Amino acid sequence: MTNTSSLQPSELQYTAEHEWVLVDGSVATVGITAYAAEKLGDVVFVELPGVGSTVASGTVVGEIESTKSVGELFAPVNGTVTETNDAVVDSPELVNSDPFGAGWLIKVEFETLPTLLSFAEYSALIGE
Per-residue confidence in pLDDT tens, the chain, 128 aa = 444 555 678 889 999 999 999 999 999 999 999 999 999 999 999 999 999 999 999 999 999 999 989 999 999 999 999 999 999 999 999 999 999 999 999 999 999 999 999 999 999 999 98
Q: How far apart are CA 14 and CA 118, in angstroms?
A: 6
- Give the count of beta carbons closer than 10 Å to the beta carbon of residue 113: 16
Using DSSP, state whether 121 is helix, strand or coil: helix
State the pTM of this model.
0.91
What are the residue ranges of helices labelled H in the chain? 34-40, 86-90, 94-97, 119-125
Residue-range domains of the chain with CATH = 13-113 (2.40.50.100)
Q: What is the chain's mean pLDDT, rounded?
A: 92
